[in-house]
Amino acid sequence: MSMRGMDLLTLQELSKRDLERVFELTKELRARVAVGDLPPVLSGKSVAMIFQRPSTRTRISFEVAIRQLGGHPIYLSWEELQLARGETIEDTARVLSRYVDAVVARVSLHSDLEKLAEEAPVPVINALSNRFHPCQVVADLFTMLEHKGYLEGLKVAYVGDGTNVCNTLLVGCTKMGVDISVACPKGYDPDSQAIEWARENAEETGALVEILRDPAKAVEGADVVYTDTFVSMGLEAEREKRLKVFLPKYQVNLELMSKANPDAIFMHCLPAHRGEEVADEVIDGPMSVVFDQAENRLHTQRALLALIV
Ligand code: CP
Ligand code: NVA
């Protein structure tokens, strides 16, 4: 089925075949950008980019990708929209859809994104919500594919907070037949809907899904060790409490990496908090692919935009 015009809110909307198509187009467009031969598939199209939270990678990679494809990105900080003065999300969605061809949105509450998508006839792409970060995980899977050469049969260990990124990894890995073991403290488990989707996907692809407490157990036999911040955006007030819960047990350091496969890679969506969820020796070490991973946001989003918008 075509991805044209679809909303991308959680990643569960995409099939394994869709993701394979995204990866193929990612490679093709990356090769073409290198020789200055990108097709202007977004020519004459405008994309609104609503950000309710800060962003370095997502904002810039989307803006660059949209421009490279001949489109016009419009960055809209939530604070500068009438949204901040109480205009409803639904009305904002209806109005924006009269002007633009797609909406990319980073929101605090996933339910706001659902309202936006419900009311906007144009495609809505999640640029991170409290529950899901699909564009991140598309880039992550592509990064694993590039570094390992294949996806089906790989094992990812996610250590730390059951965040938006962890939820989406559960969905994305299981779609592609990648085993995933999550180790998180009690009370910081991934989203129950994400676990349910992961189990459904795993039944189709044969992937293994484990939610554990012990990081050492999760990284056993892992090809990829992944972590994210212990204090996601919006949770700053819980910082002290969270650091007490997560440290030292859930930090990805050399000792924990030594329990994974010898050729395991380290991944992180960034921004990283060195000395908290990851030790310098790991993120700056030879096993770290975090900057390739960040670069791949641009390459994979180019493909997503070309297929969806
Ligand atoms: N990984 C990621 O989404 O980074 P930003 O918050 O900088 O966009
Ligand atoms: N879990 C993090 C991801 C940042 C890209 C957050 O929500 O802040």
Query: To 5 degrees, how large is the angle CA 266–CA 278–CA 275?
Result: 155
CATH number (domain holding residue 153): 3.40.50.1370
Q: Please, which residues bridge with residue 50 across strands?
A: 76, 105
Domains contained in the chain, number: 2
- Average model confidence (pLDDT) across the chain: 98
Q: Is residue 162 part of a domain?
A: yes
Confidence of residue 274 (pLDDT cuts 50, 70, 90): very high
Q: How is 162-200 classified by DSSP, letter by letter? A: --HHHHHHHHHHHHTT-EEEEE--TT-PPPHHHHHHHHH
Nearest CA to ligand 2 atom 3: 232
Q: Which ligand is nearest to the CA of 277?
A: 2
Q: Which ligand is nearest to the CA of 294?
A: 1
Could you give the strand order of the β-sheet that contains 209-212, starting from the edge strand earlier in sequence? 209-212, 179-183, 155-159, 224-227, 265-268
251 is a catalytic site residue? no
Q: Same structural domain for residues 122 and 150?
A: no
Per-residue pLDDT tens over the stretch 199-223: 999 999 999 999 999 999 999 999 9
Q: Is residue 4 part of a domain?
A: no
Q: Is residue 243 part of a domain?
A: yes
- pLDDT mean over 173-179: 98
Which of the residues 110, 131, 133, 302 is marked catalytic?
A: 133
The answer to whether the predicted template modeling score (pTM) of the entire model surpasses 0.75 is: yes
Q: Ligand 2 centre and the CA of 217: distance in Å?
A: 25
Ligand 1 within 6 A of CB of 55 = yes
Confidence of residue 290 (pLDDT cuts 50, 70, 90): very high
Q: Please, which residues bridge with residue 51 across strands?
A: 77, 106
94 is a catalytic site residue? no
> Which atom, in ligand 1's list, is nearest to the CA of 128?
3
166 is a catalytic site residue? no
Site to probe by mutation for ligand 1, drawn from 126, 169, 269, 278 as the one with most ligand atoms within 8 Å of Cβ, is 269
Distance separating the N- and C-terminal Cα atoms of the chain:
15
Ligand 1 within 6 A of CB of 302 = no
Nearest CA to ligand 1 atom 6: 55
Q: Same structural domain for residues 117 and 214?
A: no
Q: Ligand 1 centre and the CA of 58: distance in Å?
A: 5
Ligand 2 within 6 A of CB of 7 = no
Q: Same structural domain for residues 109 and 144?
A: no
55: amino acid identity, one letter? S
Which of the residues 59, 110, 297, 302 is marked catalytic?
A: 297
Range of the domain at 254: 136-294
Per-residue pLDDT tens over the stretch 44-102: 999 999 999 999 999 999 999 999 999 999 999 999 999 999 999 999 999 999 999 99
Q: Same structural domain for residues 289 and 145?
A: yes
The Cα–Cα gap between 161 and 283 comes to 18
